[in-house]
Amino acid sequence: MTEPDFLHRFEPAPPGGGGETLLLLHGTGGNENDLLPIGRTVAPGTALLAPRGRVLEHGMPRFFRRLAEGVFDVADLRARAHELADFVAHAAKRYAFDAARVVAVGFSNGANIASAVMLLRPECLAGSILLRPMVPFAPGGADPPATGAPLAGRRVLVAAGRADPIVPASESEQLATLLSGAGAEVTLHWSPGGHTLDRSDLTAASAWWNAGGARVARTSAAARTAAARPRAK
Ligand code: MLT
């Protein structure tokens, strides 16, 4: 596996930090600096890993190609989700953080690739804060795992806007159902606003984190260790 080359920023956890790393994923037209303040506010004790999306749409960085607003190039999304998961695995070795304790914080396009990574590479993320996400793949078919509970033990916050002109309320609910169906413990937060984040989103994200962001990361790390242990015959 060659190392995927993302422009990125990494900030180690402050002394006495909890051992988790936040994977910060910006929206269309953003960059690796955008979500650093949110990461520091929501989970101050974590390391921060912030890549810049490698797809350019009229010069605006994104994490995968789209055919039109809200119409994704699913083949590209799948390939880029794997590429991002590989980048996180390499970054964990390079910066010596615990790959089993990575929690994504994604906004809009960044939230969409975060949920694609959760569905395609469940081992990569211990949980996610999805800010104004959409459904990354049509449910069914070969895209999301069809059976089992690959996201068991992972907590996900879906922060949706009641007046979002890009993501209809029904789609936010559909995503929550899709992730719950894959075994995740999903919290759905509704802001009264649109696609732009407001204070209630940050309050909800902090409350979600304080209620167990770290717990889930540890639980899923323990579960993975147990699953990897050979069974006694
Ligand atoms: C996307 O393309 O991921 C969504 O339409 C959100 C956006 O970036 O506008």
Cβ contact 161:132 at 8 Å? yes
The rounded Å distance from CA 107 to ligand 1 centre is 9
Residues 6+ apart with CB under 8 A from 175: 115, 130, 133, 134, 135, 158
- Render each residue's pLDDT in the chain as its tens digit; 233 residues: 566 789 999 999 999 888 999 999 999 999 999 999 999 999 999 999 999 999 999 999 999 999 998 899 999 999 999 999 999 999 999 999 999 999 999 999 999 999 999 999 999 999 999 999 999 987 654 455 546 789 998 999 999 999 999 999 999 999 999 999 999 999 999 999 999 999 999 999 999 999 986 555 555 555 554 444 443 33
**pLDDT on residue 70:** 87
- What distance in Å separates the CA atoms of residue 104 and residue 111, rounded to the nearest whole number? 8
Name which of 162, 3, 138, 8 is nearest 78 in CA terms: 138
- What distance in Å separates the CA atoms of residue 222 and residue 45, rounded to the nearest whole number? 20
The rounded Å distance from CA 26 to ligand 1 centre is 11
Which amino acid appears at position 50 of this protein?
A
Residues counted in the chain: 233
Query: Does 70 sit in the ligand 1 pocket, CB within 6 Å?
Result: yes
Name which of 146, 149, 171, 148 is nearest 160 in CA terms: 171
- What distance in Å separates the CA atoms of residue 157 and residue 130, rounded to the nearest whole number? 6
Backbone phi and psi for residue 128, each to the nearest 5 degrees, phi listed first: -150, 140
DSSP H helices, 43-124, are 74-95, 109-120
The rounded Å distance from CA 218 to ligand 1 centre is 31
DSSP H helices, the chain, are 36-42, 74-95, 109-120, 169-181, 199-210, 213-228
Closest atom of ligand 1 relative to the 72 alpha carbon: 2
Active site residues: 108, 164, 195
Closest atom of ligand 1 relative to the 134 alpha carbon: 4
Chain position carrying tokens 């509704």:
190
Backbone phi and psi for residue 86, each to the nearest 5 degrees, phi listed first: -65, -40
**pLDDT on residue 231:** 36
The number of C-alpha atoms within 13 Å of 219 and in the hemisphere containing its C-beta is 13
For 4, the token pair is: 């995927």
